[in-house]
A = this chain, B = another copy of it.
Amino acid sequence: MSVLVVGSIALDTVKTPMAEHADLLGGSASYAALGASFFSPVNLVGVVGDDFPKEHVELFRDRRIDLDGLQTVPGKTFRWSGEYMWDLNTRETRSVELNVFEHFTPTLPGGYSETPVFLLANIGPNLQNHVLDQAAKPKFIIADTMDLWINIALDELLRLLKRVDMLILNDGEARQLTKETSLIKAAAKIRGFGPKYVVIKKGEHGALLFGDGKFFSCGAYPLEDIHDPTGAGDTFAGGLAGWLAAQNGQAINFDALRKAVVYGSILASFNVEAFSLERLRTLTQNDIAGRYEDFRLMQQFEIIE
Q: Which residues of A contact B (CB under 8 A)?
A: 86-88, 181-185, 188, 202, 204-206, 208, 214-220, 222-226, 255, 258-259, 261-262, 295-302, 304
A216, B301: Cβ atoms closer than 8 Å: yes
A202, A258, A259, A295 — most chain B CB neighbours (10 Å): A258
Looking at the complex, which one of B185, B204, B262 makes contact with A183 (CB distance below 8 Å)?
B204
Distance from A59 Cβ to chain B, minimum over Cβ atoms (Å): 30
B181, A206: Cβ atoms closer than 8 Å: no
B258, A301: Cβ atoms closer than 8 Å: yes
B304, A255: Cβ atoms closer than 8 Å: yes
Closest chain B residue to A204 by CB distance?
A: B183
A299, B297: Cβ atoms closer than 8 Å: no
B215, A86: Cβ atoms closer than 8 Å: no
Distance from A272 Cβ to chain B, minimum over Cβ atoms (Å): 12
A258, B304: Cβ atoms closer than 8 Å: yes
Copies in the complex: 2
B184, A206: Cβ atoms closer than 8 Å: no
Q: Which 7 A-B pairs have the closest CB atoms?
A: A217-B219, A205-B205, A258-B301, A87-B181, A184-B222, A299-B299, A255-B304
Looking at the complex, which one of B185, B206, B216 makes contact with A217 (CB distance below 8 Å)?
B206
B259, A301: Cβ atoms closer than 8 Å: yes
Looking at the complex, which one of B205, B206, B224, B258 makes contact with A185 (CB distance below 8 Å)?
B224
A219, B219: Cβ atoms closer than 8 Å: yes
Known contacts A205-B205, A215-B298, A217-B299: does B225 contact A182 (CB below 8 Å)?
yes
Looking at the complex, which one of B184, B220, B224 makes contact with A223 (CB distance below 8 Å)?
B184
Closest chain B residue to A188 by CB distance?
A: B224
With a cutoff of 8 Å between Cβ atoms, the chain B residues found around residue A88 in the complex are 181
With a cutoff of 8 Å between Cβ atoms, the chain B residues found around residue A258 in the complex are 300-301, 304
Instruction: Tell me the complex Cα distance, A299–B208, Å.
Output: 10
With a cutoff of 8 Å between Cβ atoms, the chain B residues found around residue A295 in the complex are 301
Provide 13 A-B residue pairs closer than 8 Å at the C-beta atoms, listed in order of the A residue.
Answer: A88-B181, A205-B206, A206-B219, A208-B219, A216-B298, A216-B301, A217-B298, A218-B301, A262-B301, A296-B301, A299-B299, A299-B301, A300-B300
Closest chain B residue to A301 by CB distance?
A: B258
Instruction: Tell me the complex Cα distance, A259–B303, Å.
Output: 11
With a cutoff of 8 Å between Cβ atoms, the chain B residues found around residue A226 in the complex are 182
With a cutoff of 8 Å between Cβ atoms, the chain B residues found around residue A222 in the complex are 184, 208, 215, 217
Distance from A16 Cβ to chain B, minimum over Cβ atoms (Å): 13
A224, B184: Cβ atoms closer than 8 Å: yes
Q: A184-B224, A218-B301, A299-B300 are in contact. List 13 more A-B contacts (CB 8 A).
A: A87-B181, A182-B226, A184-B222, A185-B224, A202-B205, A205-B205, A206-B219, A216-B298, A217-B298, A261-B301, A262-B301, A296-B301, A300-B300
